[in-house]
């Protein structure tokens, strides 16, 4: 069972690729590296059920027994994708159909429509057999809910279309309501019945935004409901056994609304972590993915896949993977499983390098993982896994992501970028936060940041209203509350449903590089001023705020309101005229931190992340390839270095250190 006071490390392993003789060698090497967990079972349904109803579990029994003998726990994935060829033959409706309705051969993984009833019959039957076989096995640590659910493609089959039509009838009840929601009076698109509905995307064109948004919601619901069913099956067949999921809710082709379904299928949040080997924005966005999956749960994160190499990259800079492990410890990591153990000889990922090379000789990262295992044994004696209680929340809204994806001309800043900028503002201030669902906000926060929530549905709007009425402070950026829940622009003053809460009317907007009404070219570089304090920042899009009951909190260089503030109920509503911007949001947090009594985060030099994980414990991580000198608030003991420090210490490139103040305990035998 899960030990909350422990940090787990291990790897992903594919025993069906190797011989029984090799299993024993690999397990011995895992033990030598200090691994305690292994993830098995993913992507190998037909290794267990090569033909309909014919199970071949005997060979895998031996694998499980060997790991049990070695004292290595197994994270056992319930592998339902890819489906075996025989499933596609017996359930042809599960095969992906392209936008012309043609069935596509399953030439790659994840080419199944998991909502197909025939597919589900075979998939859940297999899941029950696997769970029953191993639920009491001594090696079992937990089950995994398949692999990367959400990856793949939308399927435009006849069965899927019929399902879409039923989904719409359930949602709208009448064809008149659907016509109104979809604005079908535009361009002669009125529907006479639900049977008239077609998918609003073909090989040559994309339909109107309202039906397209509903189509994305429909495909999302199918995946979300499938995961909920699988979760319920595990809990029914193996009560008390934990489960997690390395899903792929953010996949660009299809994905799903994770925060809508989190409560229905997440036991322990899981993720795959594949950052680039330089600290760029791609790396930064991986941490927004982590925060979305954590949501407001008070459980640690299980990194079911963790970078060990990359496609055609043998290994990254020395110490970089260890640094990422340390960074993830600051983001609530408890489990780290390297992808993958041995570089595969064949298949799509044959040059995605693992801990061992093609010839089974350890790569440099094998020894880095072994070092991480030793570090974890030291760190788990202290306040890890780190489970903070953030004072700040950042709202995430899947519908707004889809809306921005559809209307890129108007919403020029991608929604993921808007979320990233909010995350960066907090990341570089060393502040913790929760990513939240405004349709189901569970905890109280001192500050709620709402970046570019384009669609403002009534539930989200009421959450913001109640939050401010009850004394909260909300900070919402430009582009927000432009569209209603159907995807149509509000016919009331913006921000829609919330103009009275913010006390403003959005009267228009300026875009950089374009002339305003006076013919002046709008700049991208702007300056915001509040009293004697100012900030220069870059913004391509700035809204024109017409103050109603609000006042100007900070102004642009031309005197135009940049940030408004409105006292509403017991709280305050701040509206930022520009699009989401990391520098501006960071500046605003500084402006509000004293008033909101935000806890002061640990200070650290640029490029060093720091977290106060307990009153007497600060964890530092150097994310750069240069040594950094860190000033200390008091004399302290370094857990990883096993050294005493007085006023400062030098943190090596990509290194980390946990400092314990002397009041915490006496460290006998420590070095000076």
Q: Mean of the pLDDT values across residues 490-500?
A: 98
> CA 118, CA 157: separation in Å to the nearest integer?
14
pLDDT above 60 for 665: no
The pLDDT, as a whole number, for residue 672 is 30
Sign of CA dihedral 178, 182, 186, 190: negative
Cis before residue 82, ω within 30 degrees of 0?
A: yes
Q: Which residues contact residue 60 at a Cβ distance below 8 angstroms, ignoring those fewer than 6 apart?
A: 15, 47, 48
Band (pLDDT 50/70/90 cuts) for residue 39 is very high
Phi, psi for residue 389 in degrees, rounded to 5: -120, 85
pTM: 0.96
CA distance readout (Å), 628 to 326, 609, 643: 16, 11, 17
- Is residue 310 within 8 A of residue 275, CB to CB? The reply is no
High-pLDDT (> 90) share of the chain, %: 92
Average per-residue pLDDT for the chain: 95
The pLDDT, as a whole number, for residue 666 is 44
pLDDT above 70 for 2: yes
Within 10 angstroms of residue 447's Cβ, the number of other Cβ atoms is 23
The residue whose two tokens read 């989200």 is 460
Q: Is 23 exposed, middle or buried (0-12, 13-18, 19+ CB in 10 A)?
A: middle
Q: What is the DSSP letter of 450?
A: E
CATH architecture of the domain with range 8-153+241-379: Alpha-Beta Barrel (3.20)
Q: Domain residues of the chain, as ranges?
A: 8-153+241-379, 392-593, 608-661
CA distance readout (Å), 218 to 359, 389, 436, 647: 46, 34, 22, 58
Sheet with 643-645, edge to edge strand ranges: 608-614, 617-622, 656-661, 636-638, 643-645
For residue range 391-436, list pLDDT tens digits in order.
999 999 999 999 999 999 999 999 999 999 999 999 999 999 999 9
Q: Mean of the pLDDT values across residues 263-272?
A: 97
Name the CATH topology of 392-593.
Answer: Rossmann fold (3.40.50)
Token pair, residue 480, equals 């927000």
> CA 546, CA 253: separation in Å to the nearest integer?
39
Task: Spell out a b/e string for 467-494, using b for 16 or more CB atoms within 10 Å of the CB, else e.
Answer: bbeeebbbbbbbbbbbbbbbbbebeebb
- Is residue 138 within 8 A of residue 119, CB to CB? The reply is no
Band (pLDDT 50/70/90 cuts) for residue 281 is confident
Band (pLDDT 50/70/90 cuts) for residue 380 is very high
> CA 353, CA 246: separation in Å to the nearest integer?
20
The pLDDT, as a whole number, for residue 668 is 37
CATH number of 608-661: 2.60.40.1180
The residue whose two tokens read 């792929």 is 248
pLDDT above 80 for 669: no
Q: Mean of the pLDDT values across residues 26-54?
A: 98
- Is residue 658 within 8 A of residue 640, CB to CB? The reply is yes
Among 481, 619, 477, CA closest to 541: 477
For residue range 205-249, list pLDDT tens digits in order.
999 999 999 999 999 999 999 999 999 999 999 999 999 999 999
């Amino acid at each position: 069972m899960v030990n909350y006071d422990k940090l787990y490390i291990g790897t992903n392993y594919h025993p069906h690729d190797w011989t029984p003789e090799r299993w024993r060698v690999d397990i011995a090497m895992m033990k030598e590296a200090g691994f305690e967990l292994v993830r098995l079972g993913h992507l190998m349904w037909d290794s267990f059920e090569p033909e309909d109803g014919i199970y071949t579990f005997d060979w895998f029994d031996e694998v499980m027994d060997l790991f049990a003998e070695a004292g290595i726990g197994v994270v056992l994935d319930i592998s339902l994708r890819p489906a075996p060829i025989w499933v596609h033959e017996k359930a042809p409706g599960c095969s992906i159909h392209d936008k012309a309705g043609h069935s596509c051969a399953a030439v790659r993984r994840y080419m199944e429509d998991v909502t197909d009833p025939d597919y589900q019959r075979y998939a859940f039957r297999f899941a029950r057999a696997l769970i029953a076989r191993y639920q009491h096995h001594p090696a079992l640590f937990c089950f995994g809910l398949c692999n990367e659910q959400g990856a793949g493609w939308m399927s435009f089959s006849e069965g899927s279309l019929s399902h879409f039509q039923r989904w719409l009838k359930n949602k709208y009840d009448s064809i008149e309501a659907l016509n109104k929601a979809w604005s079908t009076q535009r361009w002669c698109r009125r529907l006479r019945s639900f049977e008239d509905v077609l998918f609003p995307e073909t090989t040559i064109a994309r339909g109107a935004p309202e039906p397209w948004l509903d189509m994305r919601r429909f495909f999302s619901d199918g995946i979300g409901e499938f995961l909920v069913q699988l979760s319920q099956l595990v809990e029914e067949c193996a009560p008390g056994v934990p489960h997690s999921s390395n899903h792929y809710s953010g996949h660009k082709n299809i994905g799903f609304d994770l925060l809508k379904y989190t409560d229905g299928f997440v036991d322990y949040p899981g993720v795959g972590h594949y950052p680039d080997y330089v600290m760029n924005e791609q790396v930064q966005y991986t941490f927004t993915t982590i925060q979305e999956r954590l949501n407001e749960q008070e459980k640690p994160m299980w990194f079911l896949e963790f970078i060990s190499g990359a496609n055609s990259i043998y290994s990254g800079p020395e110490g970089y993977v260890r640094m990422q492990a340390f960074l993830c410890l600051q983001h609530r990591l408890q489990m780290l499983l390297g992808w993958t153990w041995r570089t595969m000889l064949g298949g799509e990922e044959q040059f995605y390098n693992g801990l061992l090379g093609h010839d089974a000789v350890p790569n440099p990262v094998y020894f880095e993982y072994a070092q991480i295992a030793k570090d974890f044994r030291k760190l788990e004696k202290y306040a890890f896994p780190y489970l903070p209680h953030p004072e700040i929340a950042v709202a995430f809204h899947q519908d707004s992501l889809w809306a921005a994806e559809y209307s890129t001309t108007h919403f020029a800043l991608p929604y993921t970028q808007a979320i990233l900028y909010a995350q960066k503002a907090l990341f570089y201030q060393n502040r913790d936060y929760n990513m939240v669902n405004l349709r189901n906000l569970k905890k109280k926060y001192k500050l709620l940041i709402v970046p570019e929530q384009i669609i403002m549905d009534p539930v989200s709007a009421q959450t913001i209203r109640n939050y401010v009425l009850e004394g909260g402070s909300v900070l919402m950026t430009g582009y927000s509350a432009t569209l209603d829940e159907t995807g149509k622009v509000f016919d009331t003053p913006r921000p829609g449903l919330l103009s009275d809460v913010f006390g403003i009317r959005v009267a228009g907007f300026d875009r950089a590089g374009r002339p305003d009404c006076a013919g002046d070219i709008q700049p991208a570089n702007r300056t915001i001023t509040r009293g004697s304090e100012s900030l220069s920042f870059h913004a391509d899009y700035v809204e024109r705020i017409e103050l109603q009951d609000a006042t100007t909190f900070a102004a642009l260089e031309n005197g135009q309101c940049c940030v408004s503030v409105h006292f509403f109920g017991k709280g305050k509503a701040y509206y930022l005229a520009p699009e989401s911007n990391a520098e501006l949001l960071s500046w605003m947090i500084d402006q509000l931190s004293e008033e909101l009594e935000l806890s002061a985060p640990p200070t650290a030099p640029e490029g060093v992340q720091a977290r106060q994980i307990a009153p007497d414990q600060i964890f530092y991580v150097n994310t750069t390839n240069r040594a950094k000198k860190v000033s200390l608030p008091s004399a302290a003991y370094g857990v990883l270095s096993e050294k005493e420090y007085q006023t400062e210490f030098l943190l090596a490139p990509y290194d980390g250190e946990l400092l314990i103040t002397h009041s915490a305990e006496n460290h006998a035998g420590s070095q000076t």
